[in-house]
Amino acid sequence: MKAWAIRTAIAFVFNAITLWAAAILPGVRLGDGFLWVVLLFTTASLLLRGAASAVFRRLDAQRPDGGLPGRSKAARKVLVGAAGLALSFGVLWFTTLFAGGFSINGTVGWVLAAVVVWLASIIFDAVDDGLENKAQQLLGGTGAGGRPRT
């Protein structure tokens, strides 16, 4: 199975759990069409985060020391964190715009939902490579180190 398919499936399951958990927040409502909501959310998340990663890689490649011009390591972390929070808001906005079974009302709902999705994306980034390797091993592909499973 291709790595992108495994990564997408893992993201789909992880996002389903994230949206289900976010639905307990005040102002966040998850109704009919749960799978459609998760599909839209996952698509938007993968596309927007992939585009943002490409932008940051390009900015890093412009400097010989691998950093953003004129920015310290701490400033870069703040910038990346703020971009992640903004992306979380964008993914939520896209999902509410096109998925009828998902809505967020009020400032508190939007802020809490964006923070929960942002924190979940940090957790996902920390565990997705390990989950992908394990899934490839279980499916008979190559796992960590690129060696076939025996």
Q: What is the pLDDT of residues 15-34, one digit of tens each?
A: 999 999 889 999 999 888 88
pLDDT at 97 over 50: yes
In degrees, rounded to 5, the angle at the alpha carbon of residue 49 between the alpha carbons of residues 117 and 51 is 160
Q: What is the pTM of this model?
A: 0.73
The distance of Cα 88 from the centroid of its chain, to the nearest Å, equals 8
The DSSP-derived string for 28-43 is: EEE-S-HHHHHHHHHH
pLDDT at 147 over 50: no
Residue 107 confidence (pLDDT): 92
